[in-house]
Amino acid sequence: MGIEQQYTVKGGDFSHAGSASSHVRKLLKQLEIAPEKIRRIVIALYEAEMNIVAHASSGIVRIFLEKDAIIMVLEDQGPGIPDIEQAMKEGFSTASRKVREMGFGAGMGLANMKRNADLLEITSTVGVGTTVRMTNYF
């Protein structure tokens, strides 16, 4: 296939949050990817996208569609994750009170990404940002 797409995500912009995952859903439907595969991909991507909106000042979502897989790379400029292992635990959250009051930040984002991505890699530097790389196979 060899399709590449890129989206910009603005931190704190909840009104446009989820637009990248919505576009990817439409593209995968057009390519006739199995609905269960689309569901898992979109959940993982939405959670990663929401983490940028909730925690970072900005970020980039890069999508690479190959014949047998989708690779999603999300890079943000944010506070970084000091302890990735702790952050992966269900219910752990560093979301602000404001974000929680909007119904986000329950501490399920990274766990849902892990559950729905076939491969998940997270690297982070405190004070610089976080990179999430997820792969799902078709």
- Give the chain's radius of gyration (CA, Å): 14
pLDDT of residue 99: 78
Mind listing the pLDDT tens digit for each residue in 101-133?
A: 777 777 778 999 999 999 999 999 999 999 999
Which residue type sits at 40?
R
Q: Which residues of the chain have pLDDT under 50?
A: none
Strand order in the sheet with 3-10: 3-10, 58-65, 69-77, 129-137, 119-125
- DSSP state at residue 90: T
- In sequence order, the 6+-apart residues with CB closer than 8 A to the CB of 92 are 86, 107
- DSSP state at residue 50: H
What stretches of 12-129 show up as alpha helix (H) in DSSP? 19-30, 35-55, 84-87, 97-101, 109-116
Question: What does the alpha-carbon distance between residue 84 and residue 2 come to, in Å, rounded to a whole number?
Answer: 31
Question: What does the alpha-carbon distance between residue 122 and residue 74 come to, in Å, rounded to a whole number?
Answer: 10
